[in-house]
Amino acid sequence: MIPSIIVTFAFSLGVINVIDAGPHEIAFAAVPNIPTISLEYNDGKLDLNPLINIKDKILTKLNSPETEPDEDSVIYSINNGDKISFNLGEEPSRLDAYLVDYEADYNTLYSLEKSGDTEFIAKAPSPGLYNAEVHALYPDGTYASYSKLVKIVDDKMNLLELTPDKINCAGELKSTKVTAIGDPKNLLSDIISQPIIKEFGLGKTDEINIELENNNDVCGLQMGLANSETDINFFAIQFSENGKDYEYPIVFSNTGFGDAPEVYRYPSSIEAKYLKVVPLGSTIVEGLGIEDLKIIGN
């Protein structure tokens, strides 16, 4: 059974509807009248570029994420851990913000902790270039993502002490049991090898329960989705040390760029032995369609 907090949360999204899988269209042309979003920091204002727009089951890719600055562009610098806010041309039903590294081995989304209605804490594990990215859901059912390349600076961080493991928190954590609730044929148990899930198909699954071998500092998930480049999927992650009392969920959605797995990182590592992954809905195709899942941490 999905915890009541998740059920309430999913319905509060409003415009996330699970619909029957069927023909859908992917377009690559500009969409007029898309709402605008700008980033505000230290009395400065930076317009974000629209990336993906989904309306009436038509997915339109407007721009690709920036991976390096243009020759004549000025990169916005943000102090690591500072608060940033977003100016909204139209009020969305839901707004999530990330720092995204598209130059990593896998697209990596660092979830930003919310500190106000449109305010977030811009925190990354190390200085560098990231896309400040926003995923927005609007009352009329439209989904849109926006981003802009920014530079995260941190004068207090000793770069000589940063090892790849400390930066990436990329250790693969072993699990002892994984259970998919909602479809009995998808029951998995006593799994000791990684990745913990090879195939999950596009079936309906209420939630995935994961029991780790030990209590660990969990930093995030690496997850591959069957429709990662043609749909936007929303899911929540919850944590527990005892398997009974779970923390409030952290919500993610995939970028829509690339068919490789993506890494979803939490604002900070969380000590846990038990995790839940709860699908909240998709914009086009029914089902989360997990093909690969790894738990990462220290």
The reported pTM is 0.83
Q: What is the pLDDT of residue 292?
A: 86
Instruction: Provide the CATH number for the domain around residue 100.
Output: 2.60.40.10
Q: What is the pLDDT of residue 200?
A: 38
Q: Alpha-carbon distance 47 to 38, whole Å?
A: 4
Q: How would you classify the pairing of strands 76-79 and 113-114?
A: unpaired
Do 117 and 150 fall within a single domain?
yes
Each residue's pLDDT, cut to its tens digit, for the chain (298 residues) gives 344 344 334 434 433 433 333 445 555 555 558 899 999 999 999 999 999 999 988 999 999 999 888 777 778 999 999 999 999 999 999 999 999 999 999 999 999 999 999 999 999 999 999 999 999 999 988 999 999 999 999 988 665 555 554 556 778 999 888 887 764 333 333 332 333 333 333 345 668 899 999 998 999 999 999 889 999 999 999 999 999 899 888 999 999 999 999 999 999 889 999 999 988 888 888 777 888 899 999 8
By residue count, the chain amounts to 298
| Structural domain for 187, as ranges | 4-18+168-297
Of 124, 139, 161, the position where a domain reaches its end is 161
Do 13 and 29 fall within a single domain?
no
Three-state DSSP class for 106? coil
Do 30 and 113 fall within a single domain?
yes
Q: What is the pLDDT of residue 37?
A: 97
Q: What is the pLDDT of residue 5?
A: 41
Do 56 and 126 fall within a single domain?
yes
Q: What is the pLDDT of residue 213?
A: 92
The pair of structure tokens assigned to 71 is: 């020759």
Number of compact structural domains in the chain:
2
Q: Alpha-carbon distance 267 to 290, whole Å?
A: 23
Instruction: Provide the CATH number for the domain around residue 210.
Output: 2.60.120.260
The answer to whether 202 and 260 are in contact (CB under 8 A) is no
Do 64 and 80 fall within a single domain?
yes
